[in-house]
């Protein structure tokens, strides 16, 4: 691990001042991913800015529309919120399968959304891959069982966040703060794939940090489900995941969001899957059509074709579970 300085500002302005200083900086919430990344020299900051003690970033405000969740809110506190349990069951489902209780007690919302991607080669000190400013994606011809089947574009890492697919399915927005301005954008636009930037997973610029997320209050008739497949039931990242929200009018779906995790370098929303659901009764047949539409552009590699079938199963089940339909 490279030597670094450490600061723990008590307010957001002081944190942003620290991030605006010359040098390379890293924002730390719970540190569960950052510390491992620093040990592997994936992250080599000159300064670590610990924001978990900033009160403005550690609160949940369910009183208005949108509901506001600070980036330093711990996953455990997110799960314990009675308001969020009532408003967004899908978010609770996603948060409850993150890591272990011990990690959820220190890990934060911002950390889960901004964690670095998963790939054997990216995470290894022994490989300088495309994402680490090398010239080759070793996963293409190497060990790729856990890599992307969608959106690879020369780099086939997968984004590991469980909260991101659920929040995108809820039409959440990201609040990005810098010293001179704050910008708000659809959370789906916060993430970028390697076709846009092969070295980064989001739009954060030097001196900026994710300050929180905003979620619109659910419309009447909204239901949802989050399902995750993983190698180990006790604790593991998703091999695939599916977040589905539906707005139901009787038995007919009037609006839908289908977002996949574990299949692409960013949370992957499928408007084709959504189109297969909107305006139709939710049945086993329409759920299967939506699942097939979600993976029609999939391009699996030698060892990860199983993900195509696996994520279809999750989407079908999530659609039917959300709508309360057997099948």
Write out the chain in H/E/C secondary structure: CCCCEEECCCCHHHHHHHHHCCCCEEEECCCCCHHHHHHCCCCCCCEEEECCCCHHHCCEECCCCCEEEECCCEHHHHHHCHHHHHHCHHHHHHHHCCCCHHHHCCCEHHHHHHCCCECHHHHCCCCCCHHHCCCCCHHHCCCCCCCCCCCCCCCCCECCCCHHHHHHHCCCEEEEECCCCEEEEEHHHHECCCCCCCCCCECCCCCCEEEEEEECCCCCCEEEEEEEEECCCCCCCEEEEEEEEEEEECCEEEEEEEEEECCCCCCEECHHHHHHHCCCECCHHHHHHHHHHHCCCCCCCCCCCHHHHHHHHHHHHHHHHHHCCCC
* Cis amide linkage into residue 66, ω under 30° from 0: yes
Rg (CA), the chain: 19
Q: What mean pLDDT is predicted for residues 107-128? A: 96
d(CA 184, CA 210): 10
Per-residue pLDDT, 262: 98
Query: Per-residue pLDDT for 152 more than 90?
Result: yes
Confirm if 37 and 116 have CB atoms less than 8 A apart: yes
Per-residue pLDDT, 234: 74
Confirm if 75 and 114 have CB atoms less than 8 A apart: no
d(CA 48, CA 65): 33
d(CA 58, CA 42): 27
d(CA 320, CA 287): 7
Per-residue pLDDT, 327: 65
Phi then psi dihedrals of residue 316, to 5 deg:
-60, -50
For the segment 158-167, what is each residue's pLDDT rounded down to a tens digit? 999 999 999 9
Mean pLDDT (the chain) is 96
pTM for this model (two decimals):
0.97
**Confidence band for 326, pLDDT divided at 50, 70 and 90:** confident
Confirm if 136 and 119 have CB atoms less than 8 A apart: no
For the segment 200-229, what is each residue's pLDDT rounded down to a tens digit? 999 999 999 999 999 999 999 999 999 999
Domain boundaries, given as residue ranges, for the chain = 222-323
For the segment 10-69, what is each residue's pLDDT rounded down to a tens digit? 999 999 999 999 999 999 999 999 999 999 999 999 999 999 999 999 999 999 999 999
Per-residue pLDDT, 211: 98
Sign, Cα dihedral of 215, 162, 165, 33: positive
Is 222-323 a CATH 3.30.390.50 domain?
yes
The pair of structure tokens assigned to 244 is: 């589905």
Closest Cα partner for 49 from 31, 75, 66? 31
Percent of the chain with pLDDT over 70: 100
Per-residue pLDDT, 235: 81
Greatest extent of the chain over all pairs of C-alpha atoms, in Å: 60
């Amino acid at each position: 691990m490279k030597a670094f300085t450490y600061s723990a500002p008590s307010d957001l302005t002081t944190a942003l001042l620290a991030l605006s200083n010359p040098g390379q900086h890293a924002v730390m919430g719970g540190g569960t991913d950052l510390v491992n990344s620093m040990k592997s020299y994936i992250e080599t900051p000159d300064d670590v800015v610990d924001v978990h003690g900033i009160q403005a970033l550690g609160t949940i405000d369910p009183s208005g529309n949108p509901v506001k969740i600070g980036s330093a809110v711990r996953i455990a506190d997110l799960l314990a919120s009675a308001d969020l349990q009532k408003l967004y069951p899908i978010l609770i489902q996603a948060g409850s399968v993150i890591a272990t209780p011990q990690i959820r007690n220190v890990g934060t919302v911002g950390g889960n959304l901004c964690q670095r991607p998963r790939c054997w080669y990216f995470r290894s000190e022994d490989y300088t891959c495309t994402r680490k400013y090398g010239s080759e994606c070793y996963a293409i011809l190497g060990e790729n069982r856990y890599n992307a089947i969608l959106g690879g574009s020369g780099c086939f890492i997968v984004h590991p966040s469980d909260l991101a697919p659920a929040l995108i399915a809820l039409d959440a927005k990201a609040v990005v703060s810098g010293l001179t301005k704050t910008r708000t954008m659809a959370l789906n636009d916060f993430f970028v794939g390697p076709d846009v930037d092969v070295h980064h997973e989001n739009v954060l610029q030097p001196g900026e940090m994710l300050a929180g997320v905003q979620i619109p209050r659910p419309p009447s008739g909204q239901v949802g489900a989050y399902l995750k497949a993983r190698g180990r039931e006790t604790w593991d990242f998703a091999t695939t995941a599916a977040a589905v929200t539906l707005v139901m009018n009787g038995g007919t779906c009037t609006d839908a969001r289908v977002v996949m995790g574990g299949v692409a370098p960013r949370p992957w929303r499928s408007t084709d899957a959504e189109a297969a659901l909107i305006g139709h009764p939710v049945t086993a047949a329409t759920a299967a059509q939506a699942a097939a539409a979600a993976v029609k552009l999939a391009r699996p590699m030698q060892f990860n074709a199983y993900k195509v079938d696996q994520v279809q199963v999750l989407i079908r089940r999530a659609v039917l579970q959300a709508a309360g339909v057997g099948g």
